[in-house]
Chains A and B, each alone.
Chain A
Amino acid sequence: MVRTGGGLLVSLAVIVGGILLASLRVNLYFYFAGYVVLQYVVVATAWNILGGYAGYVNFGTSAFFALGAYTAIFLIEAFRAPLPVLILAGGLVSGLLGLGIGYLTLRLKGVFFSIATLALSVVLQTLIMNWDYVGGAKGVTVIRPGSPLFGNWVRLLFTVMVGLAVAAVTVAWIIERSWVGRGLRALRDSEEAAECMGVPTLRLKLFATTISGFLLGVAGAPFPYYVTYVEPSSAFNLDYAVNALAMPMIGGTTTWIGPVIGAVLLGTAQQVATVTISSELNLLIVGVVLVAFVVLAPEGIVGLVRRPRGR
């Protein structure tokens, strides 16, 4: 087992690696592709805290992601706020939404909770579509401020996303190894039994929805500067919800490394497929791989690796 000190060291090494990679000034395309893959690391990790650890499947991932993006747009339009503020605010607003949704929907279980989160996405999208200040249905063009770090916005955003991915994975790792993680696992296996044993299930679920929402908002906050044009149908794209679910399922939902493996594998495969074979295959890849894993390896790649070792 990796100790806390070792884990922090690896986190720092990855961040330094990201900064070095940004300073290398290799082909810009790699930063674009890398950004998307890392964004999915954050999204999949965030989803897994609620969906994997606690067993509450959230289909409204795109709502939290988009709320992060739209919070950023609001702050850019209103105050020209700097990127760190956008990320923090995006996370906070989405975290608050997570908390609120937790209060409202966590009495629902299984598929009913999932349907409620899907409905949340539809409701939020309708609200954004009718809020003209952030572009409404027309969308909004975001002009990036001049002179970013590393001399280019794409390199900067890549480095920022490296940091966010490390932070998200670290949070998941800490949760997994703390009493919170144990409590979430207990309520995933049997909520009634966990409650009887004194596990504060409602508080834990609220914590999970809030942290998950926060990280999804954090992933969405730099999106306006990445894409420079945001409109509701792309910000609330179902791809985010599908990938957020598929990536941890493929990697393995029971541990922090599962979503990372799933996001890197699937995210990279999608990026490569888009510019090589045909992006028509993109969703097909996700669908086929997801079905294959659900049928053949329900515990994901992590489960496949662990199985021969009898763990």
Chain B
Amino acid sequence: MRPWGRWSPLRAVAAVLGTAFALSSVGSATAQSAKPIKIGLGMALTGGLSANGKPALLAMQIWRDDINKRGGLLDRPVELIYYDDQTNPATVPGIYTKLLDVDQVNFVVSGYGTNLIAPLLPIVMERKLTLMGVLGLANNEKYKYPNYFQIQPSGPDPEANWAMGFFEIAGKLNPRPQTIALVGADAEYPRHAIDGARELVKTFGFKTVYDKSYPPSTVDYTPIARAIKAANPDIVFVASYPPDSVGMVRAAREVGLQPKLFGGGMVGLQYTSVMTSMGPMLNGIVNYDFWAPERTMMFPGIEEFFKEYQARAEKAGVDPLGYYLPPYAYAAVQILGRAIEATKSLDQQTVADYIRKTEFRTIVGKVKFGPNGEWAKSRVLMIQYQNIEGRLVEQFKGPGRKVVLYPEEFKSGNLIYPYSAAQR
């Protein structure tokens, strides 16, 4: 080994940095000589959102394979280049700069979730790129970037539209509920959802009897459920992430919290693993969702997609049904692909202009974007879990378990009211 004195620290630093940069440059040279149309993305393959990130990636891979089987886009094969963003926004600038400058991708698609889209927007704005966002809530409200499009059907006013269905249902109930409890985690999405819900409480004229948040690290939800029970609300609106959604439902059951309407904005209840582990405990909950295997939701191509997805899901070790995020992840790249095909162009502006003015028929139905890049019309579903027996996954594949109550045009059944009636 060389003595430390002759091997100066500065030279050591320079050598390591140089080696790293040289390695990256090799990747750059390889990328430049490739012919496929490259679509790049960072995706949460580890970290808090990986349970959704992995299925989303699988859905995009299915789209890539579908397209390539049909001869690719513009007679060129499609290649997906992706990196794990670790569910950490701080990794996003580096990953996307690598995708754009070293891998030289033609288009970028966002990773999953609001927090991972937020640091990407300034990068795409600076380079005037087209961006397909995957399930972000109100990301473009500050920037108003015209070439941003987001596939989650939140609608033109994402915060307010999010819980609209829940309040529409509550407002039409007979006898009409009077009081409401709002509860949510101190985290990004729940705060958005609760803010929107507060506005809707005023609009619909309910009386708030409980409005509190809890830290995301909470493990015991029974004190919260007891406090809500003590306030005796007619409606309980919960905005939560998967661990707290499960915690709240279990705690509500345990302390006998029986409002007339329960649910609203709980993330996680849509996951197959949660549905099968909770089983009949879900009966009666009215919650947001994006898709359910009901007759009103059978858009062209969706059954074929799920057939392929479910066949590959087990091997990939991801959500076996994939009803929540995968079809939307597929639709996001489907729209991008359609726009490239239709315009016969890889020019960012041309593709963005086409996406902005076109109504697309996708596997999640008709999609038309509004001025802020969100769906021109909200289609956040409100579903009620009904008739769940046991914990077998097969029951969730057919209709009647997640009954669509809202919006009216996709309604597939009636609300069982009050909440306790659905639990019998």
Contact = CB atoms under 8 A, between A and B. Distances in A.
Interface residues of B, number: 52
Contacts of A279: 45-46, 83-86, 91
A275 B98 CA distance: 8
B16 A268 contact: yes
A126 B215 contact: yes
A33 B25 CA distance: 13
B1 A139 contact: no
A196 B185 CA distance: 51
- Classify the interface of chain A: helix, strand, loop or mixed: helix
Interface in A271-291: 271-272, 274-276, 278-280, 282
B186 A231 contact: no
- Report, as a range, how many residues of chain A touch the other chain: 35 or more
Contacts of A275: 24, 27, 83, 94-95, 98, 102
Interface stretch (A23-31, A72-80, A92-100): A23-31
The interface residues of chain B, by DSSP majority, are classed as helix
A237 B83 CA distance: 20
Interface string B172-193: 0000000000000111101110
A137 B89 contact: no
A257 interface: yes
Given A130-B186, A138-B191, A231 B115 contact: yes
B188 A29 contact: no
B17 A37 contact: yes
Given A261-B9, A271-B94, A139 B115 contact: yes
Contact of B122 (A10, A144, A223): A144
Contacts of A265: 16
A189 interface: no
Interface stretch (A53-61, A108-116, A302-310): A302-310
B97 interface: yes
Contacts of A282: 86
A139 B186 CA distance: 11
A228 interface: yes
B118 A139 contact: yes
B89 A234 contact: yes
Nearest to A305: B4
A150 interface: no
Contacts of A268: 16-17, 20
B23 interface: yes
A274 B4 contact: no
A228 B119 contact: yes
B143 interface: yes
A197 B274 CA distance: 63
Interface string A1-45: 000000000100010000000000001111011101100000000
B84 A10 contact: no
A260 interface: yes
A136 interface: yes
Interface in B49-106: 83-86, 88-95, 97-98, 101-102
B13 A260 contact: yes
Contacts of B3: 309
B219 interface: no
Contacts of B94: 29, 32-33, 36, 271, 274-275
Given A29-B101, A33-B20, A231-B188, A141 B142 contact: yes
B17 to A, nearest CB: 7
A34 B17 contact: yes
B148 to A, nearest CB: 13
Contact of A234 (B16, B20, B21, B88): B88
3 smallest CB-CB distances across A and B, nearest first, come from A229-B118, A279-B84, A32-B94
Interface of A: 10, 14, 27-30, 32-34, 36-37, 122, 126, 129-130, 136-139, 141, 143-144, 154, 223, 226-231, 233-234, 237, 239, 257, 260-261, 264-265, 268, 271-272, 274-276, 278-280, 282, 302, 305-306, 308-309
Given A141-B142, A227-B93, 8 more contacts: A37-B17, A141-B121, A261-B12, A274-B91, A275-B102, A278-B84, A279-B91, A309-B4
Interface of B: 1, 3-4, 7, 9-10, 12-13, 16-17, 20-21, 23-24, 27-28, 45-46, 83-86, 88-95, 97-98, 101-102, 115, 118-119, 121-122, 142-143, 185-188, 190-192, 213, 215-217
22 contacts: A27-B28, A28-B101, A32-B97, A126-B186, A129-B215, A130-B186, A138-B191, A227-B92, A229-B89, A229-B119, A230-B89, A233-B115, A274-B83, A274-B91, A274-B94, A274-B95, A275-B98, A278-B84, A279-B46, A279-B85, A280-B46, A302-B4
